[in-house]
Structure 1
C-alpha cells in the first residue's frame, strides 16, 4: 500500500506529466504494439495517470483508500495500453477509461464488504448506481416511499425490487463480525453463540451412516434367499423410487396382477425369515 507521503509524490509527478497530442499518442502506441518499446508504454501510461487519479477520487466515498484505488486503476491502465489498437483511430483516454473504471469497481466489490456482492453485471450496476438514483428520485417534489423508490430503481436498472431492497440494506448497514461480543467489559457472549443450526450433530451423522450401511448389508444378504422372479418383483416394486404397479409388472412377466401380489407377499415373508435368521437383532433395530 502506498504511504501518504509516497502517494502525494506520485500524484504530484502524475499531474505534472505532459499531455500527449493525437499524433504523439499514435506514434507511441505503434512503437509499443509493433516493437514492444517499454519506453513508449511508460510515456503513454504516465501521461494518463491523471485520468486514473481523477477516477479514483470519484470512488472515494466507498470508504477505501484512494491510494489503493489509484494502484488498481493503474493496473487497468496498463491492461488498456497492452490491448490498445492505434489503427482504430480512437483516443487512448477514451479506450482506457473503461479499463480503469472496471479495475477500480472490481477492487471495490472485492474489498468493500466481507460478503461478496455484484456477481452479475446487473448486480454490479445496482451496487454502483443505487445511491445516485435514490438521491435523485428522493430529491423530487413528491415524497416517495421505499416501495415506490425500489420500483423506480428496479425499472431503471433492470433488476428485481427484492434485489434493490437487499442491496439498499447492505449499503446502509456495515459488516458485523460474528465473533464480536454483544457488550463490552466482562461479557464474552458473541453473536455466534445465538446462531441456530438445525443440522444433526456429527456423532448423529456418523451413527446414521453406520446404521444405513449395516442395514444395507443385511438386505443384500437376505435377497440371496429369493429366486429370480421373486427378486425382480421385489426390486421393481420395493427398491425403486417409483415402484411399478401390480398390473404393469404382471404385463412384463406375463402373469396376472393377483399372481404378482402373491409372489410379492411370499418374497417379503422369505426376506423377513432370512433377516431374522441371519441377524436376530434385526427385530430390535
Structure 2
C-alpha cells in the first residue's frame, strides 16, 4: 500500500471536522445555488459533504486504487450531484450525493483496475462490485463450481452465464501483450497476432447514426409505459447501478414475482413499440 500524501491526511481531517447540515439548511443552500447560482452556497454545500467522499473512498481501496485518486473522484461526483440536484424532489442532498459519489468511484475503478477484467455491461458491473462479498457469504468448500455459479446468480439476480464470465476474469492473471508467444527474443509478440478490427470511417458514421436512431426509439417507447413499469425498466436496465427485483418490490409494496411480471410485460411493450416504429420509418 502506498504511503498517504500528507495533504490527503490533512484533507481527511478537515473534512471530518466540517459542519453537519440539517435538512432545512441543505434545502436553502441548494435553492440558492439552483436559482441564483450562489457560489458561496455551493461551496458550503460541497464542503459539508466531502466527508462522504472520504468515507466511500476508504471502502473502494480494496481494489488497489490510490486513496488520493479515489477521494478526487468522489469530489467530482459530489460536484456533479450539486449541479444536477433538484431541491424540490423531496430527497436529502446527502442521499443524492452519496449515489453520485459511488457512481464516480465505481466508474474510475472499472477504468483502471484491469484492462482485461473490466466489466462490459450492467450485470457484470454489478458482479464486479458484489462478487467478493457474495463469495464470502456463500463460502463452502464442498460446493462445485457449477453449483456456486448458480447460487451467486440467484443471490445477485443476474444471469448465470455472466457469473461464469466474471469468475473467469477475476481468477485470471493479467499478461502483457508485448510478451513473445514462444518466450524467445526473436519470437512474435502476442500484440502482433491481434486482428485489426478498426471500422472504416464511413461505416462508423452509419453505425453511429443507426445507434442514435435506436436509442431514440427506445427512449420514446419507455416514455409511453405506465409509470410503475417505466420505473422498473429504468431502475433495472437503464441505471448505473441496477437494482434487484426484491429491492424494487419493497419500494413499490409488491412481491418480487410481481415486479418480474411487470418487467416482462414492459419489455414486451417496448419491443413491440420499437418494431412498429422501425417499420413506419422504412420507406415504401
Which residue in 1 is equivalent to 2:164? 165
Shift, 1:116, TM fit? 6.4
1:149 & 1:80 partners in 2: Cα distance?
A: 38
1:191 & 1:151 partners in 2: Cα distance?
A: 40
Which residue in 2 is equivalent to 1:4? 5
Which residue in 2 is equivalent to 1:59? 60
Equivalent of 1:192 in 178, 189, 192 = 189
Shift, 1:160, TM fit? 3.2
TM-score, scaled to structure 2: 0.61
Contact 1:29–1:86 (Cα < 8 Å) also in 2? yes
Which residue in 1 is equivalent to 2:123? 122
Which residue in 2 is equivalent to 1:83? 84
Matching of residue 29 in structure 1 with residue 30 in structure 2: yes
Shift, 1:192, TM fit? 2.5
Which residue in 1 is equivalent to 2:139? 138
SS in 2 for 1:59: helix
TM-score, scaled to structure 1: 0.61
Cα deviations by residue, 1:210-232 (Å, 9 ceiling, x for unpaired): xxxxxxxxxxxxxxxxxxxxxxx
1:171 & 1:44 partners in 2: Cα distance?
A: 39
Q: Which runs of 5+ in 2 are unaligned?
A: 197-284
Matching of residue 106 in structure 1 with residue 119 in structure 2: no
Which residue in 2 is equivalent to 1:97? 98
Task: Decide which structure has the larger Cα Rg and report it.
Answer: 1
Shift, 1:24, TM fit? 1.4
Structure-to-structure mapping, 1:9-24, within 5 angstroms: 9-24=10-25
Contact 2:57–2:70 (Cα < 8 Å) also in 1? yes
Shift, 1:174, TM fit? 3.4
Shift, 1:109, TM fit? 0.6
Instruction: Give the aligned length.
Output: 194
Which residue in 1 is equivalent to 2:149? 150
2:56 & 2:186 partners in 1: Cα distance?
A: 43
Contact 2:77–2:100 (Cα < 8 Å) also in 1? yes
After the TM superposition, which of the residue ranges 155-164 and 74-83 deviates more from structure 2?
A: 155-164
1:34 & 1:3 partners in 2: Cα distance?
A: 39
Residues 189 and 68 of structure 1, relative CA distance in 2, 3 Å threshold: farther
Higher RCO (Cα < 8 Å, 6 or more apart): 2
Contact 1:11–1:53 (Cα < 8 Å) also in 2? yes
Residues 121 and 39 of structure 1, relative CA distance in 2, 3 Å threshold: same
Residues 119 and 88 of structure 1, relative CA distance in 2, 3 Å threshold: same
Shift, 1:65, TM fit? 0.7
Residues 173 and 23 of structure 1, relative CA distance in 2, 3 Å threshold: same
Shift, 1:190, TM fit? 6.6
Contact 2:178–2:191 (Cα < 8 Å) also in 1? no
Structure-to-structure mapping, 1:206-225, within 5 angstroms: none
Contact 1:180–1:190 (Cα < 8 Å) also in 2? no
2:112 & 2:147 partners in 1: Cα distance?
A: 31
2:59 & 2:103 partners in 1: Cα distance?
A: 13
Contact 2:46–2:82 (Cα < 8 Å) also in 1? yes
